[in-house]
Amino acid sequence: MNPAELATEVDTACRLRGEFLLRSGRTATEYFDKYRFEADPVLLDKLAGRMAALVPAGTEVLAGLEMGGIAVVTALGRHTGLPCAFVRKTAKAYGTARLAEGAEIAGRRVLVVEDVVTSGGQIAISTRQLRELGATVDGALCVIDREEGGAAALAADGIALGALLTRADLDRARAAAER
């Protein structure tokens, strides 16, 4: 499957039309439901298979961010053979009381994995926390970059963002399907 076909499949599965209240408070007539690709094991596997080639050489651990990044990192780990860490937004107060569960991250080169990036805010927060725990983090990888400033904001924090697909890719797929 080529990138355009993959973009079409993701766009068809995930772009919803209607009236949606966004986290920002704005109202939109389209909404991209990322959980639709995360909940589809066949589509998620296709995405992870393509993302594997984007994992930088030297990466030792893949770190998926709660919640959407967990499904993606698990599928990506299956394709790369790399161990995974699951990063909470806040450390839990019971059990292990850890922020990052799974693979050990201290002293290792870690790639942060997320489903969709808009502003990059959660990646920046989680990267700071992972660095405080001793991880070396200089990159992040997402399925979709919405191209709303996330890459530039992350670059300012020393984090290079890679993306399998962009909003432009999905818009081109939608336009081609509507012709």
The pLDDT of residue 97: 75
Annotated binding site: 23, 88-89, 92, 114-122, 146
Q: What percent of the chain has pLDDT over 90?
A: 77
Query: How many CB atoms lie under 10 A from the CB of residue 132?
Result: 9
* Mean pLDDT, the chain, integer: 93
Q: How far apart are alpha carbons 51 and 87 in whole angstroms? A: 19
Annotated binding site for orotate: 118, 146
* pLDDT at residue 63 tops 90: yes
3-state secondary structure of 53: helix
The pLDDT of residue 166: 95
User: pTM surpassing 0.85?
Assistant: yes
Mean pLDDT in residue range 65-88? 96
The pLDDT of residue 14: 93
Mean pLDDT in residue range 69-90? 96
**What does the chain come to in residues?**
179
The pLDDT of residue 24: 67
pLDDT band for position 178 (cuts 50, 70, 90): confident
Higher-scoring residue by pLDDT: 137, 91: 137
Please write the tens of the pLDDT for every residue from 138-176. 999 999 999 989 999 999 999 999 999 999 999 999 898
* Residue ranges per structural domain of the chain: 3-178
Annotated binding site for 5-phospho-alpha-D-ribose 1-diphosphate: 23, 88-89, 92, 114-122
pLDDT band for position 51 (cuts 50, 70, 90): very high
Strand-pair partners of 27 = 21
Q: For the domain 3-178, what is the CATH code?
A: 3.40.50.2020
Q: Which helix (H) or strand (E) holds 162?
A: strand 160-166
Q: How far apart are alpha carbons 154 and 121 in whole angstroms? A: 8
